[in-house]
Structure 1
Amino acid sequence: MSRYGIWAAALLCAAVGPVWAQPASLSAQDYARAEKVLDYNLKGQLKNAEIVPHWLADGRLWYRRDGEHGAQYMLVDPAARSREPLFDPARMREAIRAVLPAAAERVPEPLSVAVEAGVLRARFAGDATQQLSCDVVAHQCRAIAANTPDPLWLPSPDGRRAVFVRDYNLWLRDLDSGRERALTQDGEAYYGYGVLPDLALHAVPSRQGRWKVPPFAVNWSPDGKRLFGSRFDERKVQPYPMLAMAPERGHRPELYNIRLSLFGDAEQTRAEWFSVDVDGAGAGKVQRIVAPEGWSPVIEADIFGWSADNRRVYASIANYSRPARMRLVELDLDTGRSREVLEEQSATRVQVNDFLYNRAAVRVLNRSHQVVWFSERDGWGHLYLHDLRDGRPIRRLTSGEWLVRDLIGVDETRRVAYFTAGGREAGDPYLRRLYRVSLDGGDPVLLTPEVADHALEVGASAILGGDGIDLLSPSGDYVIDNFSTLDTAPRTVLRSTRDGAIVLELERADTSKVIAAGWRAPQRIKLKAADGRTDLYATVYFPPGYSAKTAQPGQYPVIDAFYGGPQVTNAPVGMAEAVSATNPISRSSLAALGFVVVTIDGRGTPGRSQAFHDASFGAFADPQIDDHVAAIGELARRYPGLDLQRVGVYGHSFGGYSSARAILRRPEFYKVAVSSAGSHNYQGMYSSLNGMERLLAGRVDYGNGRTVRPTPEAIPENYRGLDNATLAQNLRGKLMLVYGDLDENALPAVTAQLSEALIRNNKDFDLLYLPNQNHELFRNDAYYTRRMWDYFVEHLMGAKPPVGYKLAPPPKRGGGGY
C-alpha cells in the first residue's frame, strides 16, 4: 500500500470511530442495576465490617454487631479466649419490662457496661426520671435515678457532672441534684466559650438549629477539677453572605451573614486557650492563655495530654510562614504561661500526622517525662522520642524509606509503642501493617503478617470532631485488628501484642447483600507517573463482563474519579472503602453503566515520602493531572478495549477543582468533566486557622512579603497560577459545574467566578444550581447523581440516558463521614 493509501486508511478509521458499536441508549433497567451498587445504597450492607471495642477494667470487652434480626451485643474474655452474647435479648427484654412496662420491644444499646460489686451490669435508658441497671448474667433489673447527661453536654470523667453552653458561657450541672452554676461570665457572640465557631464551616445549619454539638474544643482534666479549651475570637472578621434563594419557608431569599475570613483579609479569626477551675478555693477562676504573636493552636491536634498533677497541658502551635514551624508547648494552667518543648521546621508542610484527618501520632508519657513525636525531618514520617522537660532528642524509634501512619497506643509500663505503617514490607505501600517498637531502642517487630490492609482506626482528628478509639486492651496484652483486601471480606480479630498471633476471631464480614446487589471488586494496579520513574497505585473498577481477551478496540470509555487533595488518599485498598467510598462516590455505579473507572493517588497526595507529598505544594493539582494522564495512557496500553479518545473526569470539593482543572489544562486528553463544589480559586476561599494556605502554597504573598490584600481585586502571587479561571480559554470539551447555594466548604461564589470567566471567553458549559444544598450534595442528592450519570452517558459514551429515571434518595441511616 502506498503512503497515501496508509494515510487514507487512517483517516477513514478516525472518521468512522471505534470498531465497537456503542449502545444507542441505556434503559431504565441499566440505571436500576447501577443504582443497586451506588455507595449510599451499599452503606451498612457489608455486615460486621468493623467493631468498636468497649474495654472493661478487668480486661474483657463488649461490642455491638449486626445480627440477623437487629443489633446484638457480644462479650469477649481474652484470657479465656471466649466470645459469647453479653445477654439473652428475650430474657433481658422481659427483665426490663418487669420494671418498666412501657419499655420498647427491642432492648436498647447499653449506655455503659461495668463490673459493680463483682457483678457485670449494663445500664439502659429508661424514661425521663429513671434508668435501668441490669445484671447481664441473672437478667434482673432495678430502677435507678436517671442522670444521663443531655447529648449536648460534656460529662465529667466520673459521670457525676456535666458542662454545657448557655448564652456563650460554660455552665456546670450536678447530674444527681440538678443544680446548675455558671463557670464563665464574659462570653459573647463570636467570642464564646465552647461555642462552635463559624470557621468550623457549619454556621448555616447552626443558625437554622439543625447542627448542635456539645461544648466545642473543651476538655475535662483527668481528675475532673478543671476545664481546658480553645476560644475563638471572630468579632472583627468580616461577615460573609450566604444566600438561600429558595428558602424552605416563604419566598424572600434568606441571608445568612457568617463570619468567614478570606485570603488576605486584615482581620482573621484569633484563637486562644482558657482554663477554668471547677472546684476548690479557686472555683470559677478563668485563666486566659495566649500563644506567642504570629502563632496559633493547631486545630487538628487538639491536646496531647495532661501532666500527672493535672496542672499542665501539652498542645501544639504553628506558624505557617516560611519556613513553616510547629512547636510542642507546655501550658501552665495556674499562671497562663507557655513553655516551648521542641520545634519542627519545614520548607513546605509541617504536620503531626501525614494524613490531616487522622489523629496526631503523638503521645505524652507522664511516667518517664517523655513524648513520642511524629516528624518528617528526614524526608519520611517517623516516630522520635524526646525528653518532655527540655525537648532533648533521646532516640529515633523508627527509620527507613517507609511511613508511620497512626500511633495506635503506648504501653508505658512495658515501654512499647504500637503503630501502623505503610511501605516497610514489600508490595503495595498503601497497605497498612501493625508494628511494635521498644521505646528503649531496637527494630520494629511486625505483628500482622497477612498481606492486607490492616485498618486499625483510632478515630478522626480534632478538625473533624472525632473521639478516640482504644484498640489496645488496658493491660496492653491484646489489640483489635481489622483487615481486608479489595476482594477479601474484612476480618476483625483479637491479636496478641506479644507475637501477633490471632487469639480469637471476632467477626468476618458478611458480603452476601453486597454481592447480591451486583457489586464487583475493583482491581489494584501499579502504574508509572509522568516522570516515567515513580510508581503510582490505582484502583480500577471494570464494567461487568470485561475481559482482556475479548475486549474490542474503543469499547470502553474511561472516567477518572479524581480528588487529589493533599490531606487524604482516595484509591481504596480495602473492601469496606471500595464498597462505599468516602469521595468521590458512584465508581461502582459508573462501571455498571459501561465505563472503566479509575482512581489514582498521584504525586502530591500523602501516604508516601515527604518529597512525593510535596509535589503538590505550590503546584497543587497540576503534577497530579499529568500523572493521571500518563497512568491512564499506560493502563490503556496494558488493558485492551479502553478508549483514550473518550476520557472523562469528575470530582467533588478538591476533586471539583481538580476535575475542572483537568479538562481546562489537558483538553486534548479529557473530553468531559463534571465538577461539583470545586474550590476553583483561592483568593475567594477561606483563610485563617482552618485555611488552605498551609496545605497548598504557604502564607499568601502580595509582593514584598505583604500578607494583607492591598486592593480588593488583588490576588496573591503564589496563588495566581492556581486560579482555574486563568485556563478558561482552553475549554474544548463538555463541562458541567455543580454547586449548592449553602455550601460553606467550597463557597458558591468561586463557582460563579469561574462561570464568569468561561462566559467572558465565550465558552459553552453547563451549570447545575442546587437550592438549599451544602457540601454534602455529592453523597445526599440523588438528582445530582442522576444528572452526573446522564452527562457521562450522553457526552462520553455517546448514548441516550433513560428518560425520566429518578434515583431513590439515600436511606436514612446514622453515620456519615468527612
Structure 2
Amino acid sequence: MTISGTHDYRCEPRRASRAIAAGLAILLAALLPLRSVPAQTASAADIDDRVAQALGFTSQTLSGKVLNAGLTFHWIGQGSRFWFRKAVAGGGDMFISVEAATGSQVPLFDTQAMAQALVSAGAPASSGVPRIVDASVAEDGRTIVIAVAKPDAACRWPQLYDKCELATQHYRCDLPAPACVALPDLPGADTLLSPDGRFEVHVRKHNLWLRDLRGGEERRLTSDGVAGFAYGEMHDQIETFAASRRRIGLPDPLLGIRWSPDGRYLIALRHDVRPFGKRLVLTEYLPPEGGAPVVHEKREAAADDAVYPAAALSVISVADGAIRQVDLDPHLFEDVAGRYFNAVHFGNGGPMTWDMDRRKLWLIGAKRGGKELRLIEVDLPTGKARSVVTERGLVPISLHPGGGSPNIAVLPKSRRFIWYSERDGWGHLYLYDLDSGKLLTQLTKGAWAVADLIRADEERGIVFFAANGKERGNPYNRYLYSVSLRGGTPKLLTPENADHALVAGSGSDGSISPIGDYLIDDYSTVSLADHFVLRRVDGSLVGEIATADISALAATGWKPPEPVTVKAADGRTDLYGVIYKPRNFDPARRYPVIEITYPGTWSKYAPNNFRGVFYGSAVMNAYAFAELGAIVVSVDGRGTSYRSAEFRNHYYGKDDATGAEDHVAAIRGLAATRPFMDLSRVGVTGHSSGGDGSLRAAMLYPDFFKVVVSGEGPTDYLTLPMDVAIERPLGVPDTPEIRAYYERIATRNMVSRLTPANKVLVIYAGADEQVPLQQGFQIFRAFQSAGFVYDELIVPDAGHWGGRHPYGVMRTARYFAENLGGPQ
C-alpha cells in the first residue's frame, strides 16, 4: 500500500570522566583566587577570577555531585525480578535485587564477598577492591558476568562522546554466594557472535568468514566482496569514529551484518562506494603513539554527489552457505535505513523484526532526503521481498520525532503492524494489516504527539506509548499511556506533573517487565531530581525504588534553572525553555545574556527534566557561563521536534535555516519582563549544529548577537558526507535551485554580514571526523578574505568535542568574560 500526503508545512549521562575533571582542575589551579571587583572597572584579575569561578561549575563537575540520577534497570529472565546498581555516598556501589510484586529490595550479592571472590579469581584490584565496569545477570538469576577494569585502564581524550571506553577482563560468578572464574577475552566489535555463542563471524579480505568457537574450524561464507564493496562495511552516516577508536585502541565495528534470532541466517547489507573518489577525512597531526601524522581517507559520497551509493542486501544460510540476493531497489537503503539496520537494539523490535516460524524479516527502507519510507518484508528462504507500506511526503517524514527508535511494531501472530506517521499534522500511531498493507485504524489522534512506542503487547492487545502535549503544562513533558489495539481513548498511567523517561522494548532493559505486568518509571523536572518508582501496568503504584541524591550539589549553593514560556517571532506560538542565573544573582543589577543554542529538526534541546539541566547540546556548561555573571538562555524555537509537524518544518527551505528570528524574539520577550537582562550585551554559543546555528545567528542579527563562540560548526554543507542531519532539514541538492540555496546559506558565504563590532571565536578539533578541520579552514579563509578580525582555537587531540575539552571550556568562558563583561 502506498500513502501519499502533502506534508507541506513550509509556512540521555555517564559520570564525569576523571580525565575531564583532572583537566579542569589544572586550569582552575592556574587561575587567581576569586576577588570582588566592581564589574564596571573590570580588570584582567577580575576576568581571571570570574573564569576561575565558572570552571568550578561545569556540567561535568556539577553532574559528578549528583548520585543516582541515571540509574538503569535490568529484568532477570522472564520473571518479575530486576536488579540495578546505585552509587553510595562516600564512594562505592551497591547491586540491588527487587521483587516487583512487593517492591522489596535485597542486595544482589554481598559486595565485600564478591570483591574477595573476584580477587581470588585473579581480578586486578586497587586497594583490594576490583573496579567493576559492567555486569550482566543470567536469565536464571544464578550467575553474573562481571567486567573488571584492567590495570591502569583510564579514559583519555578523545573519547567517544561522553563514554569512557575501558579495557576490561570478564569473570563469571555464582549467586548469591559468589565464587568466580576468569573468562576468555570477549570478541571485539570487529566480530559478531551468534545468538547461542557458538559461532562468530568476521571479515577477512573483504569477505565474511565463520568460525566455530568450540573447535576453531573456519570457513568462508562469501567470495564476492571487494575493496569498496566489502562485507562488514557500509556507507554509514554514523560511522564517524574511526580515528577516535584508533587513538584509544578499539577495533572498527562490523557494519551491516545481523544474525537471525535462531542463528540459522545472516543478513548482510553493503554499499558500493567504488564509483566515488577517496576523500580526506582528517589528519592526526599528533597521534598518541607519536611519530609521523596519520592520514585518514575513505570513499564516501558527499552532499554534492548526484547519487547515493547503491546497496545490496543478501541472505546467507549458515548451514549450507547458500547466498540469496534480495531483489530490492538498490537505493532503498539511504537516509535513516542504514542507521536502523545497524542498530543492535531499537525499540519494540524496532526497525528489524524476525518471525522464524514463517522465516520472514521486516525492515525499514528509505530514499535519500527522507521523503519516502517503507516497511519491507523479506522471505528468508527465497530472498524475495515486497513493500508492505510506502509513505511519501513533500517534506521529510519520520518514524520518530527525535530521530530515535522508530515507532513501529510488527505483530506477526495477529498479522498486523503499527506504523508512525505525521500525516494529520501530529505524530500518531496507525494499525495496518500485515498481509495486505491496508489501514485498519488510527490508534491515537489529537493535537498532541506520540514520542515513543514503548511496547506493543500482542497477547493482551495493548499498546504502551509515551506522548507529549496531551496533558496541561509543558508540552515537552512525556507521559506514559496505554491504548487497546482496537482503538479507543488512551489511559494515562503516569500522572505526576513531570517528564517521564521510559525505555522501549520487551527485553531485559525495557521499562516494562518481559511478562508485561510491571513497569519502572523515572520522572523528574528541571528542579525535581529523578524519582524511580515501580508501577503495575494499570498505572497503580507498587512503591518507590530510588531517588537521586543531590545533597552534594545543593551544598554548592546550586539552584535549578527557571522554566520560561515566551512567544516566537510570529507573536502567537509559545516557545519553552529555561534561564540560568548566577548563584549571587541580584535583580537590581544588569547582566549580559548568553544563549546556548542547538537548532535542528531532529530533536528538542532545552531541558525539561533533571539530567537535561546538565547535559544536552543546548545547555552544556550553562551553569559555568552563568557563574561568569551572566543570564544564560536556552529555548526551543520553531524548527525543532516533539511538537506538530508544522512547528518542526517551519523553516524548511528558508534562508534563516536554523530559525534565528525565534531566538531573537524569545530573548527580547524574556527581557521585556526581566529588566536585569542587558540586551546591549548578548552573546551566543553552540556546538556542532549549535556551532553553525550560533555563528549563523550572529551573521543574520549582528547588531543583536555581539559576541559568538562557535564550536565545530559546518561551514559548507555540500562538501560534507551525505547525512540525514544535512539533507533532511535542507533538502537534497539535486537541482540548481537547491544547490544555490546550499551556497547561499553556507556561513563561509555570509561573513560580510558581520560588523567590526562583532567578536567571534571559532573552535575546531584536530581529530574530528564529523565536522573535519577542513570545514574550519573554509571559514578561516572566508574571514581572512573579508579582512574580518576573528579568533580561532584548534584543540589538537579532541574529536567532535573541541569546545567541550577542558581547554575549550576555559577559552569559551574567558571569551565571554572579556567581551561581554559582568554584572553592572
- Name the TM tier (shorter chain): 0.7 to 0.9
Say whether 1:666 aligns with 2:711: no
Q: 1 CA distance for matches of 2:464 and 2:41?
A: 53
Instruction: Confirm or deny that 1:284 pairs with 2:321.
Output: yes
Alignment map for 1:768-787 (pairs within 5 Å)? 768-779=793-804, 781-787=805-811
Cross-structure match for 1:743: 768
The corresponding residue for 1:525 is: 564
Amino acid at match of 1:327: R
Alignment CA distance shift 1:343-1:505 (3 Å): same
Partner of residue 368, structure 1: 414
In the aligned structure 1, how far is the partner of 2:240 from the partner of 2:170? 37
Matches of 1:287 and 1:390 in 2, distance apart?
A: 25
Structure 2 partner of 1:805? none
Which SS does the other structure have where 1:670 is aligned? Answer: coil
Distance 1:229-1:83 versus aligned 2 partners, 3 A rule: farther
SS of aligned partner of 2:812: helix
Could you say if the C-alpha distance between residues 778 and 495 of structure 1 is closer, same or farther in structure 2, counting changes exceeding 3 Å?
farther
Instruction: Give the counterpart letter for 1:633 in structure 2.
Output: R
Q: Which residue does 2:230 correspond to in 1?
A: 192
Residue of structure 2 equivalent to 1:271: 311
Does 2:419 align with 1:399? no
Letter in 2 for 1:83: Q
Deviations 1:757-810 (A, max 9, x none): 33333222222233343212233x22221111111111111799xxxxxxxxxx
Q: Which moved more, 1:613-622 or 1:347-356?
A: 613-622
> Which amino acid is the alignment partner of residue 41 of structure 1?
T
1:8 alignment partner in structure 2: none
Does the alignment pair 1:35 with 2:55? yes
Q: Residues of 1 paired with 2:657 and 2:508: CA distance? A: 35
Residue pair 2:597, 2:634 contacting (<8 A) in 1 also: yes
Partner of 2:577: 538
CA deviations on 1:343-397 (whole Å, 9 max, x unpaired) are: 11211111110111x1111111111111111100101000111111111111111
Equivalent residues in 2 for 1:647-666, closer than 5 Å: 647-666=682-701
* 2:737 is the counterpart of 1:699: no
Q: Deviations over 1:383-440 (max 9, x none)?
A: 1111111111111111001110011111111111111111000111011111111111
C-alpha distance in structure 2 between counterparts of 1:743 and 1:125, whole Å: 30
Paired amino acid for 1:703: P
1:309 match: 357
RMSD across aligned C-alpha pairs, in angstroms? 3.0
Q: Do the aligned residues in 1 keep the contact of 2:803 with 2:812 (CA within 8 Å)?
A: no
The alpha carbon displacement at 1:65 in A equals: 1.6
Aligned to 2:464: 418
Letter in 2 for 1:778: G
Give the match for residue 707 of structure 1.
none
From the superposition, tell whether residues 149 and 769 of structure 1 become closer, same or farther in structure 2 (CA, over 3 Å): closer
Q: Partner of 1:21 in structure 2? A: 40
Query: What's the secondary structure of 1:716's corresponding residue?
Result: helix
1:524 CA displacement: 0.9
User: Could you tell me which amino acid in structure 2 is paired with residue 729 of structure 1?
Assistant: S
Superimposed CA distance per residue, residues 484-513 of structure 1 (whole angstroms, 9 cap, x where no aligned partner): 111111011112111x12213221011123
Structure 2 vs 1, CA of residues 468 and 295 (structure 1 numbering), >3 Å: closer, same or farther?
farther
Cα shift at 1:718: 3.5
Q: What is the SS of the residue equivalent to 2:474? A: coil
2:82 corresponds to:
61
Deviation at 1:520, TM superposition (A): 2.6
Tell me the percent identity.
35
Aligned-partner residue type, residue 617 of structure 1: Y
Give the 3 Å change call, closer, same or farther, for CA 208–266 of structure 1 in structure 2.
Answer: farther
Displacement after TM superposition at 1:307 (Å): 2.1
Provide the rounded CA distance (Å) in 1 between the counterparts of 2:111 and 2:68.
Answer: 19
CA distance in 2, matches of 1:760, 1:150: 48
Larger deviation, residues 556-565 vs 618-627: 618-627
| Alignment partner of 1:260 out of 285, 300, 303 | 300
Q: Does 1:760 align with 2:785?
A: yes
Aligned-partner residue type, residue 514 of structure 1: L
Q: Secondary structure of the equivalent of 1:701?
A: coil
Asked if the contact 1:50–1:492 (Cα under 8 Å) also holds between the matched residues in 2, the reply is no
Residue type at the aligned position of 2:548: A
Distance 1:434 1:394 in 2: 24
Distance 1:255 1:452, change over 3 A: same
Do the aligned partners of residues 622 and 78 (structure 1) sit closer, same or farther apart at CA in structure 2, a change above 3 Å counting? Answer: same
| Secondary structure, counterpart of 2:142 in structure 1 | strand
Secondary structure at 1:300 match in 2 = helix
CA contact (8 A) 2:306 2:734 kept: no
Q: Which has the larger radius of gyration?
A: 1
SS in 2 for 1:752: helix
Q: Are the counterparts in 1 of residues 47 and 817 from structure 2 also a CA contact under 8 Å?
A: no
Distance change >3 Å, CA 197–CA 324, structure 1 → 2: closer
| 1:795 aligned residue | 819
Q: Secondary structure of the equivalent of 2:713?
A: coil
Cα distance in 1 for partners of 2:54, 2:247 equals 35
Give the SS at the match of 1:212. Answer: coil
Task: Find the aligned partners of 2:503 and 2:656 in 1 and give their Cα distance.
Answer: 28
- What are the within-5 Å matches in structure 2 for residues 523-602 of structure 1? 523-547=562-586, 550-552=587-589, 555-602=590-637
User: Secondary structure of 1:612's match?
Assistant: helix
Closer, same or farther in 2 for the Cα pair 1:182/1:73, shift >3 Å?
A: farther
Task: State whether residues 326 and 345 of structure 1, in contact with CA within 8 Å, keep that contact through their aligned partners in structure 2.
Answer: yes
Correspondence for 1:377 among 402, 416, 423: 423
Contact 2:54 2:813 in 1 (8 A): no
Residues 221 and 310, structure 1, Cα contact 8 Å, conserved in 2: no
Q: Which runs of 5+ in 2 are unaligned?
A: 1-37, 151-166, 342-350
- Contact 1:132–1:141 under 8 Å retained in 2: no
Q: 1:724 aligns with which of 723, 726, 747?
A: 747
Q: 2:196: which partner in 1?
A: 158
Give the equivalent residue in structure 1 for 2:496. Answer: 450
Distance 1:727 1:214 in 2: 39
Q: CA deviation at 1:209?
A: 7.2
Larger displacement relative to structure 2 (653-662 or 27-36): 27-36
Does 2:237 match 1:237? no
Preserved CA contact (<8 Å) 2:303 2:719: yes
Which stretch shows the higher mean deviation, 657-666 or 95-104?
95-104
Structure 1 residues 215, 798: closer, same or farther in 2, change over 3 A?
same
Q: Judge conservation of contact 1:662–1:670 (CA < 8 Å) in 2.
A: yes
Does residue 352 of the first structure (1) align with residue 399 of the second (2)?
A: yes
| Distance in 1 (alpha carbons) for counterparts of 2:602 and 2:482 | 26
Q: In terms of mean alpha carbon deviation, does 141-150 or 336-345 score higher?
A: 141-150
Determine helix, strand or coil for the equivalent of 1:719: helix
CA contact (8 A) 1:324 1:345 kept: yes
State the shift of 1:476 in Å: 0.7
Give the structure-2-normalised TM-score.
0.85
Structure 1's 336 and 697: CA in aligned 2 closer, same or farther, altered over 3 A? same
Whole-Å separation in 2 of the counterparts to 1:20 and 1:250: 46
1:327 is matched with 374
- Cα distance change of structure 1 residues 576 and 798 upon mapping to structure 2, 3 Å threshold: closer
Which residue of the partner structure matches residue 815 of structure 1?
none
Q: Structure 1: how far apart are the matches of 2:39 and 2:811?
A: 26
CA contact (8 A) 1:24 1:799 kept: no
Give the direction of change, closer, same or farther, for the CA distance of 1:768–1:102 in structure 2 (3 Å limit).
Answer: closer
**CA distances 1:233-265 after superposition (whole Å, capped 9, x unpaired):** 222222112453733367765432222322222
CA distance in structure 2 between the partners assigned to 1:42 and 1:180 by the alignment:
51
Distance 1:517 1:439 in 2: 50
| Match status 1:168 vs 2:203 | no
SS, match of residue 229 in structure 2? coil
Q: SS at 1:299's partner residue?
A: helix
